[in-house]
Amino acid sequence: MNDQKGILAVISGFSGAGKGTLVKELLTRHEQEYCLSISATTRIPREGEVDGQHYFFLDKSVFEQRIQEERFLEHACYVDNYYGTPKDFVFNKLSQGISVILEIEMQGALKVKERYPETVLIFVTPPTAEELEARLRGRGTETEEVILSRLSRASEEVTYMDKYDYIVLNENGKVVECAEDIHQIIEAEKRKAVYGGELVEQLTEGLAAYKKGE
């Protein structure tokens, strides 16, 4: 069971919930065990963005061909650009025993879960709506309009929270604890009986000789 496949985990959360910081903490603390999925996109690379590190930058025709070939776990189109999660990258890492973190929005998350029910959906949230608003305002970098539109979006996203497998509280100043909570969930998931097929088979074979009447 210890040399088993990695776990595919989606981490979602309200904009402003501190998801990015949290994922970075998780990857730093357990860098041998996790990697972040790299998205493919058809948009133009921004200054400093490296192909294969920040994104896989693809031509539109190549992206569309790969959609045809079902080479994405999920994909979507925003503002005339495609974004998608390449299967190859994810499945390669998983087969090496590395768990893959997807940081995608809710609709993508639910699509991935539908196709790969073993995907673990984790929703990260501040403990209260007030706290979410305080964090958004605390940044001091957003206009009132942006803050209100994020809160409005959160008010819709909250209705999907129960579609997630786990809810993790991201309390103020507890980013380490929260990252460890996520790690704990993924470690527990690895022990799900559904992954124990090989072990059960070996035990069954090993015990067969002791079956009554044999």
Known binding site for ATP: residues? 13-20
36 three-state secondary structure: strand
Closest distance between a second copy and the C-beta of residue 190, in Å? 9
At closest approach, how far in Å is the CB of 4 from a second copy? 11
Interaction mask 144-173, a second copy, x per CB under 8 A? ----x--xx-xxx-xx-xxxxxxxxx----
If one asks whether residue 31 binds a second copy (CB under 8 A), the answer comes out as no
**Choices 26-34, 92-100, 138-146, 180-188 (CB under 8 A): range interacting with a second copy:** 180-188
Judged by CB under 8 A, which of 47, 59, 69, 130 binds a second copy?
130
Distance CA 115, CA 102 (A): 15
Can you tell me whether residue 214 is helix, strand or coil?
A: coil
Q: Look at strands 8-13 and 34-36 and give their pairing.
A: unpaired
Pairs from 170-176 (Cβ < 8 Å, separation ≥ 24): 170/13, 170/17, 170/18, 170/19, 170/22, 170/124, 170/125, 170/126, 171/126, 171/127, 172/126, 172/131, 175/18, 175/21, 175/22, 175/25, 176/25, 176/29
CA distance 85 to 95: 17
Q: Tokens for 74, please give them.
A: 């999920």
Alpha carbons 60 and 42: distance in angstroms, whole number = 6
- Return the number of the residue (42 or 125) whose C-beta is nearest a second copy: 125
Among 93, 123, 170, 179, binds a second copy (CB under 8 A): 123
Residues between 193 and 212 that touch a second copy (CB under 8 A): 193-194, 196-197, 199-200, 202-208, 210-212
Nearer to a second copy by C-beta: 98 or 147?
147
Question: For binding to a second copy (CB under 8 A), which residues are involved?
Answer: 1-2, 123, 125, 127-130, 132, 148, 151-152, 154-156, 158-159, 161-169, 181, 184-185, 187-189, 191-194, 196-197, 199-200, 202-208, 210-212
